[in-house]
Structure 1
Amino acid sequence: MSATRVLAVLAGALALAFAALPAGAQDEGGATGLHLSGFATLGATAVDRSDLWFYRSGFNKPGKRRVDFGNDTLAGVQGSLRLGKAGDLTVQAMTHESPLGSYDPRITWAFWRFAPTPTLSARIGRLRAPFFMLSDSLYVNYAHPWVRPPQEVYSLNPFSDLDGFDLLWQVPLGRLDLEIKPYYGTGRIDLLDEGKARMRRIRGLNLALVGEHFSLHAGHGEGRLQLRWNDPAYHQLVGALNLAGGAAAALPARLSGKQGHAGFSSAGFQWDDGRNMLIGEFVYRRADRYVNSAHAWYLTAGRRFGAFTPYLTLARQRQERPVARADGLPAPLAAAVEAFAASRNDAQRSLAVGTRWDFARDTAFKVEWSRARVDRGAWGSYFPNSATPGTTPDGRTVHLLSLSLDVVF
């Protein structure tokens, strides 16, 4: 049975169960059999450059106005249904602006979990792709101090869903818990201008050490990468390379296709004693084609003063190997290859300061100002306004103001 059929069966079974089950239904142990929850963010961003837009790779379509509500605004609902003492079904649906510019809701979780013991569980279906330390709460912005997780790190792997299975084994180590999580599956995402990307045969392992006030994370995953760009810059470049012939005609196979391999490693920590917090993460992406190889990190420090939590974040992304090299090509063609590679390079460094205000139960308002310096030969987290052709974020300093209202229910 295909992954799509499995998801359809899981979602359909849970929907039928929800429809048939009274809201107050109890399982054999007396706990509520049906549990509903949700989360939402209303966000707005403004860039100080009229010729640039802020862009979250793989998440949204660059906006057309100075004040953009599409970068962070989202809503999700989740339902879990107990099936006896050891199993449950969970479905989560979410809506946000996609790279295609639509707000069509989609199923982001749809899995069956079996937990034969309190320390061992298995899940199958659609899961969150566990590439980052904060993957499980990636879109629940209320759970984070920032308006959004630092993009220098979280733009390096836009795959958010995994159709497959995972295991979670918790091992007590005195006052600590060791969590061992192997996983396997397939991920798919949309790209701008109806491009597509897919990772097949993803296999990985995450380890976490959890204590009372801190946690450590380490993980690695890899798989086969398929990618099809469909934007005008790609088609223009491929046409020019094929027309040139010779060595140039071999480059398109490195820009798009079905024969890629990519690996992703991450390590991070969180420390929070209720008043002070320190969060850091380092990630590394290695790819043999289609996307560049790069590494990134961030460090956030914050302190709570009643309902307010001011914080400071430093972040950096560096490119290690570009999507394609222009060695030996004629000057005009080399310039076109370098421009294409720059548009796929998110390298930048940033400083962000912000504050979170928990003014009501399960509700937080956040304000964040950031200053980003985009690397030479890169676009960073920004996208040029088509109204000003020839202008790119390459090597520029950009200031971004972000506001958000986050709720959970």
Structure 2
Amino acid sequence: MNINRLALITVITSTASMTAYGNSVEQLTNQVKQLNQRLLDQEQRLRINGFATVGVVQQDLEEGYHRGITDELNWRRYSKAALQFTFNIDENTSFVTQLISRGEEDFDTTAEWMYLKHNFGNGWSTKIGRLRKPNYILSEFFDVGYAMPWTQPPVEVYGVLEESANYEAIDFTYDFEIGDWSAFAQAQYGRSETDSSVSPDLFAFNFNMNYDYLTLRAGYSRADTFFQPDSDIGTLSVGVNAAYEAAYASAGLTFDGQVGLNEETAQLAQFFGVAAMYDSDTWLLMAEFNSLEFDGLGVDEDGFYLVGGYRFGQFMPFISYARSESTDDDDREAPITMNPVVDGAVVATQLSFNKEQDRFSLGLRYDFKPGIAFKIQYDSVDTGDTIGEFDTFPSEDTTDVISATVDLVF
């Protein structure tokens, strides 16, 4: 009797254990399935893109041109690599980060973009965080060499963007249609700070229209801007401020106050730009003009470029012309204080801010694989007895620049 009871208990216990074990395996299997589904969902929500450029550039003269290009082969100036992460929080909200490493900055990695985007519907969307300034037709693709014909975009127009491409801001964009045209209007507000200047309150507006192969855009931005103490104008003030104060002691004026070296003396800066692009399967035609103006002693400057390319097969030869010039040279030639000593020092230094540059370019682009392009470009640069885009005054007015890049996107 006891033996039968013991056997029955053993059978019942074993059956319960097997049932519990089966349930545990089933639960574990379900958990693994749920985890795999979550991972799959995350993969679908996270998109990773990237681009890179490997480039080399050299020019004729010893003096540095456009931030360090000399008569020695420079493998770092144009080389860069970046990854962009887009995480879709839901169907209307996403977070975007772009990390980039540039050769000219010793390949240190920085966050170029970092913003939260939300679509409200009916064409409205907003972004907040670290954004790209919308000043140019190629602003969004400025670092992506694969997206443009040149080995490097024309410094005569895009030089300002290289020094001040991003800022912390909020953006509102409205997408709509005008007949057969698709269009969007964009407004941004934020703070911009670079090594040379600070704009605490920057407003930017951009309007873009597209029809078939044709794109048109216009943009305007404005900000009260002051210069950093170690900028060119800040350095100039160190040498002349004392003499300027002495000359205007009765009026209580300072040179620092006239040029804007702090937030209280900031000067209004305004930027205006227009552009057009025709990009078909065969032809690429682009033109862009911009104008930068300062109320103070910052350099007023106009710049433009024209470029045309013809595609056949995997090749596109192109020709380009660009020009930039300072437009307030006469202001710097005029006496400031009526004190010959002060005026001599100020005017002599300020004349170094006068600039003029013409650049004629010939190039060839070869798309030898999907997402990979090889480019070679020749530039003839004329600075017309000014500093142009050189880092210091060049020993000659003209120089030849040769560059080559391999650009890729993935």
Q: Could you say which TM-score interval applies, normalised by the shorter chain?
A: 0.7 to 0.9
- Name the CA distance, whole Å, in 1 between partners of 2:103 and 2:364: 25
Tell me whether 1:44 sits opposite 2:59 in the alignment: no
Match of 2:64 in 1: 53
> Secondary structure in 2 aligned to 1:26?
helix
Q: How many residues align?
A: 366
Match of 2:391 in 1: 383
Amino acid corresponding to residue 175 of structure 1 in structure 2: D
Range with bigger deviation, 123-132 or 320-329: 320-329
Amino acid corresponding to residue 273 of structure 2 in structure 1: S
The structure 2 residue matched to 1:87, chosen from 90, 93, 99, is 93
> Secondary structure in 1 aligned to 2:308?
strand
**Closer/same/farther in 2, CA of residues 66 and 336 from structure 1, 3 Å limit:** farther
Match of 1:302 in 2: 309
**Closer/same/farther in 2, CA of residues 228 and 310 from structure 1, 3 Å limit:** same
- Name the CA distance, whole Å, in 2 between partners of 1:21 and 1:396: 65
Match of 1:176 in 2: 181
Alignment gaps of 5+ in structure 1: 1-19, 56-60, 191-195, 385-391
The structure 1 residue matched to 2:383, chosen from 374, 391, 398, is 374
Name the % identity.
Answer: 22
Q: Contact 2:366/2:375 (CA < 8 Å) preserved in 1?
A: yes
TM-score normalised by L of structure 2: 0.81
**Closer/same/farther in 2, CA of residues 356 and 277 from structure 1, 3 Å limit:** same
How far does residue 260 in structure 1 lie from its aligned partner after superposition?
Answer: 1.8
Match of 2:83 in 1: 77
Q: Contact 1:241/1:333 (CA < 8 Å) preserved in 2?
A: no
**Closer/same/farther in 2, CA of residues 394 and 154 from structure 1, 3 Å limit:** farther
- Name the CA distance, whole Å, in 1 between partners of 2:127 and 2:70: 40
- Name the CA distance, whole Å, in 2 between partners of 1:335 and 1:65: 34
Match of 1:274 in 2: 281
Matches within 5 A, 1:28-177: 32-50=44-62, 52-55=63-66, 61-62=67-68, 66-97=72-103, 102-117=106-121, 119-157=123-161, 158-177=163-182
Q: Contact 2:59/2:69 (CA < 8 Å) preserved in 1?
A: no
Match of 1:215 in 2: 215
**Closer/same/farther in 2, CA of residues 306 and 291 from structure 1, 3 Å limit:** same
- Say which structure is richer in helix: 2
- Name the CA distance, whole Å, in 2 between partners of 1:53 and 1:312: 25
**Closer/same/farther in 2, CA of residues 128 and 25 from structure 1, 3 Å limit:** farther
Alignment gaps of 5+ in structure 2: 1-34
* Greater Rg by CA: 2
Amino acid corresponding to residue 274 of structure 1 in structure 2: D
How far does residue 343 in structure 1 lie from its aligned partner after superposition?
Answer: 4.2
How far does residue 235 in structure 1 lie from its aligned partner after superposition?
Answer: 3.7
Match of 1:347 in 2: 356
How far does residue 106 in structure 1 lie from its aligned partner after superposition?
Answer: 1.3
**Closer/same/farther in 2, CA of residues 93 and 286 from structure 1, 3 Å limit:** same
**Closer/same/farther in 2, CA of residues 118 and 339 from structure 1, 3 Å limit:** farther
Match of 2:335 in 1: 327
How far does residue 183 in structure 1 lie from its aligned partner after superposition?
Answer: 1.0
- Name the CA distance, whole Å, in 2 between partners of 1:239 and 1:276: 53
- Say which structure is richer in strand: 1
> Secondary structure in 2 aligned to 1:49?
coil
How far does residue 136 in structure 1 lie from its aligned partner after superposition?
Answer: 0.6
How far does residue 113 in structure 1 lie from its aligned partner after superposition?
Answer: 0.6
Q: Contact 1:109/1:128 (CA < 8 Å) preserved in 2?
A: yes
TM-score normalised by L of structure 1: 0.81
